[in-house]
Structures are given as structure tokens and as C-alpha cells.
Structure 1
Amino acid sequence: MGVNPTVMQRFLRVISKPGAKPEIQGSAPTQHVEGEDNNPAGFTSATKAKVLDRWLDRVVVISGSKAVFGIIFIGLVTWAFLGIPYSDLDIWQVLISDIQAIISYLFDSLLVRQQLNQYDDEMLVAVQLKSRLSSHNRMMTKLSQELNKEELVALAAESETSQHRHTADFQTELPSENRFGRFVTAFSHVIGHLISVSIYWITVLVWIGMGPMNDWSNRWQLDMNSASSAAMVFIFSFLANIHERHSAYTKTCLNSIFIVDSALERKLRSLTGDQVDNSVVVIPAPKMNPVQRAIFYYADFVGTLIGIAILVCVIVAWIAIGPALQFNANWWLIIGTYAGLVGMNDGFVLRNMQARLDEYAEVEFATIDKEDEALFHQMRLTTPPRETINESTLTYRVSDIMGRISAHEITVLIGLFIIFGLVAGSSALHWSETGQLLSNVPPSLIETFFMLILITGHNYADERKRANLRNLYERRLRLFSFVSCVELHAQGPAGLEKSAVAVAL
């Protein structure tokens, strides 16, 4: 009995969908002049259709909250104080290893989903900005055809000198973070700094140098495993917190930009009588090689939190075999070994995802910048001074090179081979306590390093994003001021009188 081709095609589409980054299409809400109070003006993230997706996104938001970060911080401090009377017991050290592995495993999944959600939001922003910019171009071209070159130059000059008056209903600049937000951002730059990463590896090298003095003992391995585990739990929760905090701040900035952009569209429609809806914009699917596609495939799997369901099953099985192993130190290490190895792979994937998805988004926003510049040139406007971040410092250049290497697809593959090697080594040692530590300590050290690199990459991406948003906001304010001047010019003597009164005030 043959297989129905239609069924087979559907099956192939289903299994091939994960990992693909499809084309994005959409349009900005059209700002109709009549009934403008009902027009959506600010930025709103797309609402997901499935209840489960909305619930999972809510879990992601909670994971990055101050409450969760505070609970984890208090837990780490409590564990540290318990070390005063119990530090000689292996179980005290193994406990933090297991807790770290499980928490890191959970945060891996949540951070992957955070990254995917951020990409979706950025593509939605790019689509809507391009859609509205297309309408701006159409209507401003119509305005320019009604003015001669001298009038355009004069109005452009006037709009620059009187911008603060024409844009008085808007904020002069994008909102700033609150005091706590600024502290967290500054602290993230300290943790993600090249010096901090260097200190981390110096500490690891010192620990390795002390190996012969400690006969490469299990205790010596447990000491580093405990320290790196505690650091990783802190870094994971901190990274989730700054991700969520910066995402919320970015949405606040986007809301301000979209409010000005919507007001600009309404004013243009009022001047030109244009009633054509904002066009649908299509952003083509990004090109990627098979290895990158496989990485995204795995990320989509992790981002749906299926991996967490698997972890729950593993924990149940782990508890079930506890009596057979008499709940010894070797049994305690099993769950940490599993979660640690998977978490190490997730760390490689997370860094790759962060770099690639940021690149895709930056390409679209660079296109918007160019289209804005073309519009400014057409209307004889001077583009506001462009804010950039300093990419010439040694710290930035070294961090950029390190980030590119760690984000490469080949690095992800190397990570997989390392995992296979560790598993082979532990198997050769019959998964004894020493064998399990072999699959615990190196993954913990490597994953901690990748979390530091993730913070570094996030910091630089966030700096570029904030600069781009401020540049975009300044350009929208300048365009609004120009169109306001054109509006007053169109009103004739009455408009000029109104402008004169405004100047006097």
C-alpha cells in the first residue's frame, strides 16, 4: 500500500519547518485622518495565537524578573554560608553542582526563547517601519512636486532651526532607564568586560597549576566545580534579567518612535489627501548554510521547552535509581553530568544564535537607514548627526574577534566533538566519581566562559541598538518638523502669521 503523496509532503513540511527563518511580511497600521483617536500609534508586540506559546513567554518574562534574580542570589549566599560548617563534605559541593546544572539547563531553554522572541519583535519593527516609510516616501514626493527647489531649501532650513517648537508635543529624546536599570547595565559591562573574561581564565589556569600539588584528586576537581557552578548560576540569572530589562526598555523606546512616526503619517495624509493603506512589506528569508540551519533547528527545539520535559523524565529516572546506588556521591553527580553536558552544547548554540539573529536584524535596520538618507536628500534636508559607538578600542576589537570565533558554526561543531570526547573519557573510567567529574568540570568551565561572552555580545549589540534607535528618533522628529513647516507654508499668510507668533512665544 503506497503512501499518499499529499500526506508525505505535509510530513516533510512539518519536519523541515524548525530551524528555517521564513520570510517576514506585514504592514504598519494605517493612520487615517478621520477618527485618528482610534488609530494604534505606539509599538505593540505581536500576540501569539497559541495559549501555550503565550504561557511560555510569560514564564520567560518571569525568569528575567528581579524577584527570580533575588531568590537565586539569596540561595547562593545561603549555600556559601552553609559551607562554613559543611565544606568538608563532598555532598555540599556536589549539591551546588546539581542545582547549577538543572538551573542552567532551565535558563538555557528560557534564554533561547528570549532570543527567538527578540528576533521576532525586531523583524516586526523592521517590517512596520519599512511599510510606513514607503508611505512617507510616496506622500513627501507628492509634496516636493508642489514646491520649487528654493522653497524646499528654505523650508528645510527653517525646519532645522524651529524643530523644538514643531515637536514640542513629543519628548526631546528617547526615555532613559531608571536608576536601578542604569546600575544593572553598568554592572553588565563590568561582568562582560575583556578584563573580567581574562581574570576568569587566569583563575582557571592557576587552578590547573595547583593540580599536581593536589594529586589531581576528586576534591581538587570538586573545588573548581563548586566555584564555577555558583558563578554560572549567578551569571545565568543575571543574563536573563538584563535580557528582559533591556527588551522592556527597547520596547519603551520603540513606542516613542512609533508615536512620532504615526503622527508624521497622519500629518502627511492630512496635507496630501492620500488614503492609500500602508503597503505590505516582505523581508526575504535569510540565507544560511546547512550547519547553521541545523543549529537553528536545535534552537527551535530547545525554545519550545521540550528539552525541559525531557529533563523532568531524566530526573524521575535518576530518583528511581537512587536506592540502587545508595544515594552516594556518584549518584548525586549523575543528574549534574547529564544537564551539564547538554547545557554546554546549549551555551555554544546560544552564542551562535545571538550573533546570527542580531546580524539579520542589523541588516534590515541598515536598509532603513539608507532609505531615510535617500528621503532626506530628496527633500533637501540635512540628516541629524549620527551617533555611533566607539569600535576602535582594543577592548572592542579583541572582544569582537573573540565573539566572532565563539559564534561560528564550526565552533558549535567543535563543542559537540568535545562533548563526545568527554563522554568517551567518562565511559573509559566506568562513570566512576572521577569519570563523572571529567564530564562535569570542563563543561562547567566552558559554559561559564560562553555565558560571559554572551554578556559581552549582548552589551555591544545593546549599545548599537540604542544608538540606532536614538538616530531613528532624531530623524523622525526632523521629518515631522519639516512637514509642519510645509503645512504652515501651505496655509499661506495665516500660516506665516501663526509661525511668527510661535517664534515670538
Structure 2
Amino acid sequence: MERFIKAISAPGAKGATAGVAPTQKSLGTAVNVWDNIGAVHVEKKANYDRSFKRLLDLWLDKVVHVAGSGFVFVLVMAILLVWALLGIKYGQSEMWQVVISDFQAIFCYIFDSFLMRQQLIGHDSIMMVAARLRSRNISNSRMLRHFVEKKSDKLCQIERLDQTAEFPKVNWLGRLSNYAASVTGHIITILFYWICIFVWIGFGQYCDWSDEWQLYINSATSALMVFVFVFLENIREQHRTYSESCLALIHKTDSSLELRLRIVTGDTIENEPVVIPGPQVTKIQRAIYYYADIVGSLVGIGLMLVVIVIWVVIGPAMSFDSNWWLIIGTYTGLIGMTDGFILRNVFHHLGQHEDKAFDQIRTEDLAMFDVIGASPPAEEVIQDSGLSFRISAAVGHFCSREFVVVFGTTVMIGLVIGASVMKWSTAGQLLCNIPPSLIESFLMIILITSQNMADAKRRAVLFNIYQRRRHLLSYVNDTPIDDTPIAD
């Protein structure tokens, strides 16, 4: 029983991240570099038992990566185009709109889980990177002090290097995606979205507030959500791939710096493990993380499949009528709105925790430049300028607050009560479809804005980390070394 309670309470616990950088070793002048990870290897946290990944988890991660590929993005865009063209002929049919809306709702529900998992595994990965960088910083800082003490007569200014040399460039597809993301998440796009919503509301009286009038906006927002979800998945996957190439270069430079220092100082002390404490959270935030962990796991996928199977099974009893078709859309619409609030919240809070970890790395890096008495290289900084930028950031920050998530959950409960009063008629189910669709679409659009901002800042952070290590390596390489380490 105790084991069962521990298992069901484990999700949501964002505990400490422990990591250690593999030690670079040399044998005389022969170098044995066995730390060759290339891309980032992710280790899991101890207090939510992810010490290993089951085969199904590995497959799910693979599916998430494929879902963010360019091929899937183009495929989904083609499907949306075909849907729009067929709508010219069949769009007046109520059943056509209901069926299409349902399939779109199921698609978005699936991508909700994918985006949540993508967010969580990305956070685990970047925190492990931070722990390993700090682990190697401890050794490099110690050896630099020793190096300076023994070579004080040879101190010199660091050679000024080409600021852009070697560092990976964003390819044309990445630049195109970044531009599209900036347009999609722009404050003008958001205003245009709400203008369209109010125009639709204005036609309500003219259309006698009919079910068909409601289905029009339901279909439109469903199509918009499909685009936004698959686009967000795609730009996240592109950023992950780009970040891994940057981290591989940082790792190579950092390892070379450690190895060079070990050769000239004779230091053989293993790199120390570093533990980065987990974020301090309130009970409400812990509950939000709990929900996110469930949605982004095999449990969440399993629950989704169970709901779909139950929906199919009750189809004959309801004669597969329009109400039956709407049931799945109602469920996914309500859950999707909640997931939208959760995604925005988790993205913001985990991002803050990651930023603090990299700020600590920067502080440690600058301390090493103090040790050698040299100025660090100029940093690349992304300015938070422009009215549109500030408004988008403010809206995104507000929507990530805990009380906003609670408000969204309250709205969901209220919609369920309203539909129950209406005896779950077509109008009652549309009540649970349309407002959630409008809200979720808005939340996903501003999430694209936040993602675009965060990606630009993270690229600058990685570039600055690389430059600092490259300059330190240049400093150490300025001192000729012989076959024997510096004697104590």
C-alpha cells in the first residue's frame, strides 16, 4: 500500500538534478578523451523515479520527435488544404462540420500530450546540461588558480578571437520558422484573431444564434488549433536539434579546456557531482506539475485511448447521431482548454528555473576570468524592446499565473454545469466546444510568442557560454607546455 501511494504521488515532484561531467584524462602526453557524448544525454531525477526509461517511453519520445518533424508539418498542412477544398462542396452539411471538428479536436488532444512531454523532457535535458557544466567549472576553476600561481610570469591578455567562428548557424528553415513564429505570435495577429471573433459574434443575431452559426466558428478555431499545435511542435523540435549542435560544440571546447589544464597542472582529481535544487513551488503549482506529468506520460496517452474506445463503443446505442459525434469534441474541447492553461504555466515556470541555472553558470564563468585577471568577451544580448514585444510578454506572463489556471478550471466546471442544465443537447455541447476552442487557440498563439522569445534568448546564452570557454582555452594555450606537468 505504501508503495502504491508513493507511485501515485510521485508525478509533479520537480526535485533536484544531480549531474557530473565525465573527467578528461591524459597519460603523459598521450591524450585519452573518453568523454564523447556528442549530443546531450539526459539523466532523470531521483525523487520522481525516472532513473530508467521503459521501451514504451523511448518509443513515445521517438513519436514526439517525429511529430515535430518537417515532414509531419507539411503533411498536416496538406490535409488542412484538402479539408478546406472539400468544404466548398460539403461545408453546408452540419454533419460534415461536426465530424471534421471532432477529428481536429482529437488531433489537438493528442498533440496536447506531445507538447507537454516535449516540454518536460526538454527541461530535464537542459537541467542536466547545466549540472554538468557547473561540475566541470569546479575543476577548471581549481586548475586555473593553480595554473596562474605557477605561471604568473607568463600572464598575458587573451587573444581576441572571431566572435562567430565555428558556432552553428541557424539554417534557412530555422530562420523561416522563426520569422513565421514572430508573425503568428505578434500582437497584431492576436488582435486580428479577436476582431474576427467579435465579427462572428456580431453575426449571431442575423443567423438566429443557430447551431450552424456556432459550428462555423467551431470549425474555424479547430483548423487554427491544428496549425498552431503542429507549428509549435515543429519549432520546438527545430530548436532542440539546433541546441544539441551548439551543446556538442560547447562540450568539445569545455572538455579541451579541462584536458589542457590537467596536462599542464598534473591535476587528477575527478570532477565533482553538482546538485541543482528543484524549484520551490506552492501546493497549487505542485498540483499543476502533477497534472502535466500525467498528461505527458504513457498514463495520459492511455487515458486518452480509453476515452476514445468508450466513445466508439457507445456509438450504436446513440445511433451515431450528431450528439454522439459531438461528445468526443466536447470532452477534448474541455480538456484542451485546461491543457492550454497548464502548458502556458509549465513553460513559464520551468523556463524560469532553467534561466536561474544558466545565470549561475555565467557567474562561475566570470569568476574564472577574475582568477586570470582578464576581461571576458563581449556578450550577445537579446533586448526586450518594442511595444509589441512588451505587450506579448506581459500577456504571456499573466496567463501563466497559478490563479489563471484555477480560473480556467473553474470555467470548465461552469461549462459542464451549463451543458447539464441544457441536458447535453447539441446547443449544450457546443457550449462546451466553442468557448474552450476560442480560449485554447488564444493560449496557443501567445505560447508561440513566448517560445520564440525564449528560443532567441537561449541561443544567445549558449553562444556566450561557448565564447567564454573558447577565450579561456585560448589563454591556457598561450603558455607552451612540455611533457611534464607543473611541479608543486
The two structures share one fold, judged by TM-score above 0.5: yes
Secondary structure of the residue aligned to 2:275 is strand
Q: For residue 46 of structure 1, what is the aligned residue in structure 2?
A: 42
What do residues 376-429 of structure 1 show as CA deviations (whole Å, max 9, x unaligned)? 122111111111111132122111111111111111100000001111111111
CA contact (8 A) 2:40 2:129 kept: no
Q: For residue 455 of structure 1, what is the aligned residue in structure 2?
A: 448
User: Is the counterpart of residue 71 in structure 1 residue 75 in structure 2?
Assistant: yes
Aligned letter for 1:414? Answer: F
Q: For residue 81 of structure 1, what is the aligned residue in structure 2?
A: 85
| Partner Cα separation in structure 1 for residue 198 and residue 255 of structure 2 | 56
| Partner Cα separation in structure 2 for residue 98 and residue 238 of structure 1 | 20
User: Is the counterpart of residue 106 in structure 1 residue 110 in structure 2?
Assistant: yes
User: Is the counterpart of residue 466 in structure 1 residue 459 in structure 2?
Assistant: yes
CA contact (8 A) 1:25 1:281 kept: yes
List alignment gaps of at least 5 residues for structure 1.
1-6, 493-505
User: Is the counterpart of residue 477 in structure 1 residue 476 in structure 2?
Assistant: no
| Partner Cα separation in structure 2 for residue 305 and residue 201 of structure 1 | 36
What do residues 138-157 of structure 1 show as CA deviations (whole Å, max 9, x unaligned)? 00010111243x743xx1x2
- Deviation of 1:46 after TM superposition, in Å, equals 2.4
CA contact (8 A) 1:96 1:230 kept: no
Q: For residue 180 of structure 2, what is the aligned residue in structure 1?
A: 187
| Partner Cα separation in structure 2 for residue 332 and residue 469 of structure 1 | 48
| Partner Cα separation in structure 1 for residue 108 and residue 299 of structure 2 | 15
- Deviation of 1:331 after TM superposition, in Å, equals 1.5
User: Is the counterpart of residue 135 in structure 1 residue 139 in structure 2?
Assistant: yes
| Partner Cα separation in structure 1 for residue 340 and residue 222 of structure 2 | 14
| Partner Cα separation in structure 1 for residue 266 and residue 307 of structure 2 | 64
Q: How does 1:254-273 map to 2 (within 5 A)?
A: 254-273=247-266
Aligned letter for 1:257? Answer: I
Secondary structure of the residue aligned to 2:25 is coil
- Deviation of 1:41 after TM superposition, in Å, equals 5.7
| Partner Cα separation in structure 2 for residue 249 and residue 392 of structure 1 | 25
- Deviation of 1:15 after TM superposition, in Å, equals 2.8
Q: For residue 208 of structure 1, what is the aligned residue in structure 2?
A: 201
The normalised TM-score by structure 1 is 0.90
Q: For residue 46 of structure 2, what is the aligned residue in structure 1?
A: none
| Partner Cα separation in structure 1 for residue 126 and residue 34 of structure 2 | 25
Range that drifts further, 416-425 or 46-55: 46-55
Q: For residue 373 of structure 1, what is the aligned residue in structure 2?
A: 366
Q: How does 1:264-283 map to 2 (within 5 A)?
A: 264-283=257-276
Aligned letter for 2:159? Answer: E
Q: How does 1:299-378 map to 2 (within 5 A)?
A: 299-378=292-371
User: Is the counterpart of residue 392 in structure 1 residue 396 in structure 2?
Assistant: no
CA contact (8 A) 1:173 1:473 kept: no
What do residues 130-174 of structure 1 show as CA deviations (whole Å, max 9, x unaligned)? 0001111000010111243x743xx1x2x224x46xx9xxx8142
Secondary structure of the residue aligned to 2:235 is helix
| Partner Cα separation in structure 2 for residue 215 and residue 111 of structure 1 | 38
- Deviation of 1:471 after TM superposition, in Å, equals 0.7
- Deviation of 1:209 after TM superposition, in Å, equals 1.8
- Deviation of 1:256 after TM superposition, in Å, equals 0.8
Greater Cα radius of gyration, structure 1 or 2 = 1
Q: For residue 223 of structure 1, what is the aligned residue in structure 2?
A: 216
CA contact (8 A) 2:221 2:438 kept: yes
The normalised TM-score by structure 2 is 0.93
Aligned letter for 1:264? Answer: L
| Partner Cα separation in structure 1 for residue 145 and residue 39 of structure 2 | 26
| Partner Cα separation in structure 2 for residue 253 and residue 54 of structure 1 | 24
Secondary structure of the residue aligned to 2:382 is coil
- Deviation of 1:295 after TM superposition, in Å, equals 0.4
CA contact (8 A) 2:24 2:33 kept: no
Secondary structure of the residue aligned to 1:33 is strand
Please give the root-mean-square deviation of Cα atoms over the aligned residues, in Å. Answer: 1.7
Secondary structure of the residue aligned to 2:38 is coil
1:146 to 129, 150, 166: 150
| Partner Cα separation in structure 1 for residue 11 and residue 94 of structure 2 | 42
Are the structure 2 counterparts of residues 420 and 26 from structure 1 closer, same or farther at C-alpha, using a change threshold of 3 Å? same
What do residues 359-378 of structure 1 show as CA deviations (whole Å, max 9, x unaligned)? 10000000111111111122
User: Is the counterpart of residue 432 in structure 1 residue 429 in structure 2?
Assistant: no
- Deviation of 1:14 after TM superposition, in Å, equals 2.3
Q: For residue 486 of structure 2, what is the aligned residue in structure 1?
A: none
More helix by share: 1
Aligned letter for 1:68? Answer: V
Secondary structure of the residue aligned to 1:176 is coil
| Partner Cα separation in structure 1 for residue 76 and residue 279 of structure 2 | 38
2:289 to 247, 271, 296: 296
What do residues 422-460 of structure 1 show as CA deviations (whole Å, max 9, x unaligned)? 111111111111111000011111111111011111111
| Partner Cα separation in structure 1 for residue 129 and residue 34 of structure 2 | 21
List alignment gaps of at least 5 residues for structure 2.
44-51, 484-488
- Deviation of 1:491 after TM superposition, in Å, equals 5.9
Aligned letter for 2:41? Answer: S
Aligned letter for 1:160? Answer: E
User: Is the counterpart of residue 444 in structure 1 residue 444 in structure 2?
Assistant: no
Q: For residue 24 of structure 1, what is the aligned residue in structure 2?
A: 17
Q: For residue 171 of structure 2, what is the aligned residue in structure 1?
A: 178
Aligned letter for 1:346? Answer: D
What do residues 236-261 of structure 1 show as CA deviations (whole Å, max 9, x unaligned)? 11111111111111111111111111
- Deviation of 1:308 after TM superposition, in Å, equals 2.5
